[in-house]
Amino acid sequence: MNYYEIDTPAVLIDLAVTEKNIKTYQTYCDGKGLNLRPHIKTHKIPELAKLQLKAGAVGITCQKVSEAESMLSEGGIDDVLITYNIYGESKLQGLLRLSEKCNLSVVADNVVCLKGLSKTFKEAEKPLKVLVECDTGALRCGVVTPEEACSLAKKIESMPGLKFGGLMTYPPISQQKKVNHFLETAKNLIETHGITVDTVSIGGSPNMWEVEKIPIGTEYRIGTYIYNDRSLMEREVCSEGDCALTILATVVSTPTSERAVIDAGSKVLTTDLFGLTGHGHIIDHPELIISQLSEEHACIVSDRPTGLSIGQKLRVIPNHACVVSNMVDEVIFIEGQNVLKKQAVVARGKVL
């Protein structure tokens, strides 16, 4: 079956491009002596995580406990880092169950969460590895000084059921001076207390080709590289041909010659802008702009006739690939123009 026969809107995944992206970045990390730990939030599909592991990744990154549970549902994945502060009894029990199925580690940036983790794991067979999350400039989670990082590392080592697993930060690599200073200071401080810092986990897609800017990093977490998207194209991190995820849509209205409407709205493309103008890149029509979205419509405008006609199918590279995966129950794996299969997005909507 040719993918042009599929009912739209549909999310297409070009498997050859996907596999190329996995291989290319694995080779890059191998060359830099950096462990690669892909974030599965981009695809949410165990089969693709296993391709990443097979290529050489050391494990996967998940953000939520339920996401990790989905990813482990079919076997074949044995190392998971959950980069999230885990709080609350049901999530802690989920974590305990996960720890029996894989080599599990989590992060924390506060004592309240550590207490919950310790209480849950104090009688477990092996201790839970906990990395200290550091805020090195992203202004999200993470301790805000190296001294706090050291204090938490000591705390982890002293608490029953827990073992200090290293430092973890989310970009910005763009603030490399600050990031390096923070991580080096924290590592030195911790090591003066006789605690080894084996892992320094860094990551992020926009700076994926600049890992040497943070030489202290031992592990790189990254999601989008497997599919790529318009935000990375615009930042010249990838090219159009590197984009594996596209949205197949049909023109359903051409009210004027300069305006057309397709059947993929924010329920597929999402309203994520990432600082860009417009809501996607239309393959073969770089001159057309997706100017506005509503839930089921996207308006395409041009200052010249669009040349589009009703029934015509278009492929759109979205601004942000990860969030598109989260909108659909299934994606379509393709090879060239051929449909290989429908694939469930197993970890879609797993927010717990």
- Minimum Å gap between C-beta 74 and a copy of itself is 20
Q: Which residue reads 């029934």 in tokens?
A: 311
Query: Three-class SS of residue 208?
Result: coil
Q: Which residue reads 């998207």 in tokens?
A: 229
C-beta closer to a copy of itself: residue 138 or 340: 138
Does residue 286 touch a copy of itself according to CB under 8 A? no
Q: Which of 185, 236, 186, 191 is nearest to 210 (CA)?
A: 236
Q: Phi and psi at residue 60, in whole multiples of 5°? A: -120, 160
Using CB under 8 A as the binding criterion, the count of chain residues that bind a copy of itself stands at 58
C-beta closer to a copy of itself: residue 210 or 329: 329
Q: What is the DSSP letter of 65?
A: H
* Cα–Cα dist 346/70, whole Å: 6
- Is the separation of the CB atoms in 211 and 220 below 8 Å? yes
Binding piece for a copy of itself, criterion CB under 8 A, among 132-140, 155-163, 214-222, 279-287: 132-140
- Minimum Å gap between C-beta 189 and a copy of itself is 18
Query: Three-class SS of residue 203?
Result: strand
> Site for a copy of itself (CB under 8 A): which residue of 106, 141, 190, 332?
141
Does residue 14 touch a copy of itself according to CB under 8 A? no
Binding piece for a copy of itself, criterion CB under 8 A, among 95-103, 133-141, 227-235, 332-340: 133-141
> Site for a copy of itself (CB under 8 A): which residue of 119, 218, 296, 344?
296
* Cα–Cα dist 260/263, whole Å: 10
C-beta closer to a copy of itself: residue 67 or 242: 67
* Cα–Cα dist 132/143, whole Å: 8
Q: Phi and psi at residue 135, in whole multiples of 5°? A: -90, 100
> For a copy of itself, what does the binding mask look like between residues 64 and 103, x meaning CB under 8 A?
x-------------------xx-xx-xx------------
Does residue 326 touch a copy of itself according to CB under 8 A? yes
At 188, the amino acid letter reads N
Binding piece for a copy of itself, criterion CB under 8 A, among 3-11, 119-127, 160-168, 207-215: 3-11
